[in-house]
Structure 1
Amino acid sequence: MSRSFLLLAATATVCLAASTVSAATLTISGRVLPGTCTLTAPAIALDPVKADEMVQGDNKLKAGTLNFTGCVGVTKATLSFAGTAADGDAERWKNTAAADAAVGVSVALLKGATGTDYIKNGDADIEVVVSGATASYPLRAGYYLPAVAGANAGAVQTEITVTADYE
């Protein structure tokens, strides 16, 4: 074999190898978020109660839960609560039903699954530990009757704004 034939064969092989090379662009994207979660506060539908069967104090307490999901860079949430306090009772929430409102009845909101600590308008600094990407805060709501006399049947409703600050 001649030297020029070998050189020609080697050049052809390099050209063939070069023609099989391809290129691609790898795109990587993301987003840096401030520490945050998605907070959901499902409605708590209280069970009906007869006006003449209510006792002074809390009635028909029902459990609810504030849920935190999709948490990123968060180890703790600090909750605050705002709304309208019951007339003459800063511990409870005013019945703000727009039509056919029950008279003499307000709404109680209590911390946790047990206990007697109320959550009231303006409460803040309620801490919730966040573990991983989720957390929850149990609470209870119910009717509140300040005095046995004077309760009339009707609708009961209140709206409370819950704000969470994250660390």
Structure 2
Amino acid sequence: MTAIPPIALRATLCAALLASAPAALADTATLTISGRVLPGTCTLTAAPIALDPVKASDLTPGADSQIKSGALEFIGCVGVTKAVLSFAGTPADGDATRWKNTEATDPASGVSISLLSGTTGSNYLKDGDTGIEVPVTGTTARYDLRAAYYLPTAAVPEAGGVSTEIVVTADYQ
């Protein structure tokens, strides 16, 4: 009987073991990638407008008093050519053109608030106004406005605080 060299024996044994081993398992997975392309946007800031204190006797019936400037600022605009604004809040009692004094602590009576667009003129911004376009140049835009005390013609003002909150919504295009 002829002896099998140890290397040949090992090779034969390895081949036999490999032939009897089960086939390697394969696995698959599906990688799902999703996203959404949004329209352009800006960051809108509305600095509070603090009306200067006024004596009740200095308010002019039927007129805006102590007009103060303010602005809506749009910064960081990307992919936007204009913002379209809408305004919502509580209209003054009996006067849909003005805003109600909603001061919670010691409110002045007989007084409401006017909000006007631009730096001049008499275009009032009121509850429900929509479609006000603000052009965006580069990455910024600005919408000037003014606020004032308003004393209706027949009203008798009484001292106290005056404030209101107006929600401004900007849709970007």
Alignment TM-score, normalising by the size of structure 2? 0.77
Measure how far apart 1:107 and its partner are: 0.3
Aligned partner of residue 62 in structure 1, secondary structure: strand
Unaligned runs of 5+ in 1: 1-30
Q: Tell me, yes or no, if structure 1 residue 145 matches structure 2 residue 151.
A: yes
Unaligned runs of 5+ in 2: 1-35
Q: Tell me, yes or no, if structure 1 residue 42 matches structure 2 residue 47.
A: yes
* 1:97 matched residue in structure 2: 103
* 1:113 matched residue in structure 2: 119
Contact 1:65/1:137 (<8 A) preserved? yes
Of residues 56, 59, 83, the one that matches 1:51 is 56
Decide whether aligned partners of structure 1 residues 88 and 148 sit closer, same or farther in structure 2, where only a CA change above 3 A counts: closer
Of residues 145, 159, 162, the one that matches 2:165 is 159
Measure how far apart 1:147 and its partner are: 2.0
Alignment TM-score, normalising by the size of structure 1? 0.80
**Alignment map for 1:11-90 (pairs within 5 Å):** 33-56=38-61, 57-90=63-96
Distance across 2 between alignment mates of 1:149 and 1:34? 47
Q: How many residues in Structure 1 have an aligned counterpart in Structure 2?
A: 137
Measure how far apart 1:148 and its partner are: 5.5
Distance across 2 between alignment mates of 1:89 and 1:33? 39
Sequence identity percentage: 66
What is the identity, as a one-letter code, of the residue corresponding to 1:61? Answer: I
Contact 1:69/1:133 (<8 A) preserved? yes
Measure how far apart 1:53 and its partner are: 1.1
Distance across 2 between alignment mates of 1:149 and 1:137? 32
Measure how far apart 1:150 and its partner are: 1.1
Q: Runs of at least 4 residues of structure 1 off by over 4 A? A: none
Larger Rg: 2
Question: Residue by residue, what CA displacement relative to the aligned partner does 1:99-143 show, whole Å, maximum 9, x if unpaired?
Answer: 110000000000100000100000011100000000000000010
Contact 1:59/1:144 (<8 A) preserved? yes
CA RMSD of aligned residues (A): 1.3
What is the identity, as a one-letter code, of the residue corresponding to 2:139? Answer: A
What is the identity, as a one-letter code, of the residue corresponding to 1:52? Answer: S
* 1:122 matched residue in structure 2: 128
